[in-house]
């Protein structure tokens, strides 16, 4: 788990030639435009957004991935990509290009699974659609909570930096309260799933790379 990703001149590939985080942001923007056009042309939302009733019936399984690259509007896209720009690049430097790519996709997938399974607890979500990169984004947050708990970050509506170990759970709670108070549809269970995925991966890295992760924590005190 390198802190500075070394690129070998002998073994260059697509992961080593580009900044993966920037590519992910670009893909999210491009897919948002493409999917928006498709919906405007009459393509059903079932083909793009994840919906528990579809998944549990064995239908539209590809939406586990397409939903990760679609957003509910420009502000939703901007908020997620703005956050990803600032913290995704740091995680990519910590993990390396390839490992970061796999982690991002896996965190998003686990977030989608959590959202689907939550329909057994919250029946109202059974026929609710979900889109967005928030699940993968919270996976990144969960990982930083474990690896860089004292990293200062800014959280929505709070004008002073907050340590990551407080900011991660805090963001989850704030979004949950906003969704309840404003009766706004927010994929809270997907966020929770992503956060848990990041925390568990962080635990794995701390156990496997004790010295490196300890050094990383000291760097951000």
DSSP the chain: --SSPPPPSSS--HHHHS-HHHHHHHHHHHHHHHHHHHHHTT--GGGTSB-HHHHHTT--TTHHHHGGG--SSHHHHHHHHHHHHHHHHHHHHHH-HHHHHHHHHHHHHHHHHHHHHGGGT-GGGTT--B--SHHHHHHHHHHHHHH-TT-EE--TT--S-EEHHHHHHHHHHHHHHHHHHTT----HHHHHHHHHHHHHHHHHHHHHSHHHHHHHHHHT-
Check 71, 118, 134, 179 and give the catalytic one: 134
Check 5, 179, 191, 215 and give the catalytic one: 191
Concerning whether 97 is annotated as a catalytic residue, the answer is no
Place of tokens 């549809």: 185
Burial 79-111 (b: 16+ CB within 10 A, else e): bbbebbeebbbbbbbbbbbebbbebbbbbbbbb
d(CA 28, CA 19): 15
Length of the chain: 221
Concerning whether 191 is annotated as a catalytic residue, the answer is yes
Catalytic sites, residue numbers: 134, 191
């Amino acid at each position: 788990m390198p802190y500075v990703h070394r690129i070998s001149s002998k073994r260059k590939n697509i992961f080593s030639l580009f900044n993966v985080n920037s590519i992910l942001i670009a893909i999210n923007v491009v897919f948002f435009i493409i999917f928006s056009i498709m919906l405007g042309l009459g393509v059903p939302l079932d083909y793009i957004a994840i919906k528990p009733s579809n998944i549990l019936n064995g239908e539209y399984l590809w939406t586990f991935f397409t939903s990760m690259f679609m957003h509910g509007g420009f502000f939703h896209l901007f908020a997620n990509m703005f956050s990803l720009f600032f913290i995704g690049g740091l995680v990519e430097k910590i993990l390396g290009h390839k490992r970061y790519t796999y982690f991002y996709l896996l965190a998003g997938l686990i977030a989608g699974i959590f959202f689907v399974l939550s329909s057994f607890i919250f029946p109202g979500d059974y026929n609710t659609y979900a889109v967005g990169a928030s699940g993968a984004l919270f996976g990144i947050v969960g990982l930083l909570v474990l690896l860089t708990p004292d990293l200062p970050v800014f959280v929505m509506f709070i004008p002073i930096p907050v340590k990551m170990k407080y900011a991660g759970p805090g963001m989850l709670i704030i979004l949950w309260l906003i969704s309840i108070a404003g009766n706004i549809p927010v994929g809270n269970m997907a966020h929770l799933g992503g956060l848990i995925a990041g925390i568990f991966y962080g635990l794995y890295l701390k156990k496997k790379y004790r010295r490196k992760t300890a050094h990383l924590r000291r760097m951000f005190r």
